[in-house]
Structure 1
Amino acid sequence: MRTSTRIAGVLTGLALALGGAALTAPAAHADIASCVNQVERELRGGAAQDSVHMACYVGLTGNHDQCVSDLTRAGVTEDTATSACRVAPQ
C-alpha cells in the first residue's frame, strides 16, 4: 500500500472519530448547562455550587426525583428544582 493512501485512510478515520465525538459531547453538556442555568437564574447571577452540577447530572441520567431532592438539599426552591431537573434530560 502506498504511503499517501495509508495517510489518507488514517486521516479519514481520525476525522470521522473526532466528528462523532464532537456531535455527541455538546448535547450532554448543553442539557446540564440548561439545568444549571435554571438554578443560577434563581441565584440572580450567583454561581452554582458543585452539588448543583452533580444534581443536574443525575437529572441528565433520567432520575428526576433524585435530581429534585439533591437540588433542594443544596438550597434551591422546590419549584426551581423541579423545572431545572425537567430540562436536564432533554
Structure 2
Amino acid sequence: MRTSTRIAGVLTGLTLALGGGAALMAPAAQADVTQCINQVESELQGGEAPDSVSMACYVGLTGDQAKCVSGLTESRVSDATAASACEAAPK
C-alpha cells in the first residue's frame, strides 16, 4: 500500500473518531483525499507525494481551500495543480 493511501486512511479514521456520527461519510472522505493526492502525484509524474501533501489535502477536505493551496504550494506543487487538487478534496 502506498504511503499516501495509508495516510489518507489514517486521517479518515481520525476524522471518524473525532466526528462521531460521520461514519456514513468515511468512504467518500477517503476517496476525496486520495483524489487530491493523486492529482498532485500526476504532476510529479509517477513520484510519490510527501506527507505534507497528504496533510494539505486533508485540510482541503475540511473546507479550508486557501490553507490547502498554500500547503501544497509550500510543498512545491504548481499553483494550478494545487488549486484543482484542493477543489477536488471537499467534493
Deviation at 1:54, TM superposition (A): 0.1
TM-score, normalised relative to structure 2: 0.73
What are the ranges of 5 or more consecutive residues in structure 2 without an aligned counterpart? 1-21
Q: Pairwise mapping of residues 50-61 of structure 1 onto structure 2 (< 5 A)?
A: 50-61=51-62
The CA RMSD over aligned residues, in Å, is 1.2
| Superimposed CA distance per residue, residues 41-90 of structure 1 (whole angstroms, 9 cap, x where no aligned partner) | 00000001000000000000000000000000001000000000000000
Q: Highest Rg: 1 or 2?
A: 1
Residue 67 of structure 1: aligned partner: 68
% identical aligned pairs: 61
- 1:9-60 Cα offsets, whole Å, 9 max, x none, are xxxxxxxxxxx94x43111100000100100000000001000000000000
Q: List runs of 5+ in structure 1 lacking aligned partners.
A: 1-19
Equivalent residue pairs, number: 70
